[in-house]
Amino acid sequence: MGEEVLIRQATRQDINELYELMLEYIVDFYKQSKPDEAELKGLIEHLIDQPASGLQFVAELDGVLVGFATLYFTFSTLRVKRAAVLNDLFVKTEIRGKQVGEKLFQTCLQYIRDNGFCSMTWETAKDNLVAQSLYNKMGGEISPWVFYEIS
Residue 49 has a CB neighbour count (10 Å cut-off) of: 9
Which is nearest to 68 in space by CA: 55, 49, 84, 52? 55
CATH code reported for the domain at 6-137: 3.40.630.30
Alpha-carbon distances, residue 132 vs 22, 43, 109, 139 (angstroms): 20, 27, 16, 11
Query: Helix or strand or coil: residue 20?
Result: helix
Phi, psi for 52 (deg, rounded to 5): -70, -20
Is the whole-model pTM more than 0.85?
yes
Compute the average pLDDT of residues 16-40: 97
Which pLDDT score is estimated for 137?
87
Which pLDDT score is estimated for 2?
58
pLDDT over threshold 80, residue 118: yes
CA angle (101, 145, 136) in 5-degree steps: 30
**pLDDT band (50, 70, 90) for residue 81:** very high
pLDDT over threshold 80, residue 151: no
Q: Could you state, in order of their start, the residue ranges of all structural domains in the chain?
A: 6-137
